Amino acid sequence: MLSVHDLQVRYGRSVAALHGVDLDVSPDGVLAVLGSNGAGKSTLLRAISGTLRMHRGSIAGGEVRYEDKPLNQLDPARIVRLGVVGVPEGRQVFARMTVEENLRAGGIGSRSPEGRAAARRRVDELFPVLAERAKQRAGLLSGGEQQMLAIGRALMSGPRLLLLDEPSLGLAPKVVEQIGGVVREIHAQGTAVVLVEQNAVMALRVAEHAIVLEVGKVALAGTTAELAASEDVQRLYLGGHAESQATAEAEAETARTRSIGRRLSRWAG
């Protein structure tokens, strides 16, 4: 469905943000994109959604193809009409508009009233809380609800491929879990997803394939099971290092206690 080949992206003349990125997303797939700050995750989504120019960036080489059409030269509105819709980082909702108005704005580009009504039913089922708060101003929703509204608004245009940029950012663990469940459900309903995340635990649970970006390059790629088993991913993203350190400290503490116990019993007896 989506194929990115040897993608090079620059900001202005001096910043080379992506150097030869390759990836594929199948029509029924969820691809997680992991990586630390500044690795190029948002840049990758901007290149796919055609929004690089808004950030003074450009594709300097390589290709983004969606259903075998090159996207490189297309403007963002055309890319949305093809079915590729992004939810940018930072829960960007229209804060002064109501939930209802935000959702209606998301459906403006939809061609048929039936399509809009079906998309609305899907959003109401996925996010009952948005239906309950339809008349409330979006700026008054909680962080998690705003994230749900941002995703709901994107779903209103009936995407076939959804690009999510760090949907879990700044949310409590329980809400992150809910968002993960929603992404899984969206995928089960037949929408492919590219999920950029710093929360690797959630992303690897939800996706089937993943890549790890490091300084603008794909450092690791594979199934989520393969990546979750990788020592690098465990150490850098899953807290494996912290866990093994904690285990080592606990074992050392037990050994110290035993040794004191042995010395005390020798002294006593």
Which residues lie near ligand ATP (CB under 6 A)? 11, 15, 17, 35, 37-43, 55-56
CB of 196 to ligand ATP, least distance (A): 7
CB of 52 to ligand ATP, least distance (A): 9
CB of 85 to ligand ATP, least distance (A): 18
Nearer residue to ligand ATP within complex by CB, 27 or 38 = 38
Which of 31, 36, 37, 124 has the alpha carbon at shortest distance from 48? 31
In the chain, which residue ranges form alpha helices assigned H by DSSP? 41-49, 76-82, 99-106, 113-126, 128-132, 143-155, 173-188, 200-206, 224-229, 231-237, 240-268
What is the rounded CA–CA span in Å between residue 93 and residue 167? 13
Given the structure tokens 């490189």, which residue do they identify?
72
Q: What pairing do the DSSP bridges indicate for beta strands 2-11 and 15-25?
A: antiparallel
User: Angle of helix 173-188 relative to helix 113-126, nearest 10 degrees?
Assistant: 140
CB of 45 to ligand ATP, least distance (A): 8
Q: Are the C-beta atoms of residues 54 and 11 closer than 8 Å to each other? A: no
Q: Are the C-beta atoms of residues 48 and 9 closer than 8 Å to each other? A: no
Nearer residue to ligand ATP within complex by CB, 56 or 258 = 56
CB of 6 to ligand ATP, least distance (A): 18
Nearer residue to ligand ATP within complex by CB, 38 or 261 = 38
CB of 16 to ligand ATP, least distance (A): 8
DSSP notation for 42-76: HHHHHHHHT-GGGGTEEEEEEEEEETTEE-TT--H
Structure tokens at 138: 């979006």
Nearer residue to ligand ATP within complex by CB, 130 or 176 = 176
Nearer residue to ligand ATP within complex by CB, 27 or 90 = 90
Nearer residue to ligand ATP within complex by CB, 91 or 120 = 91
Structure tokens at 14: 């001096």
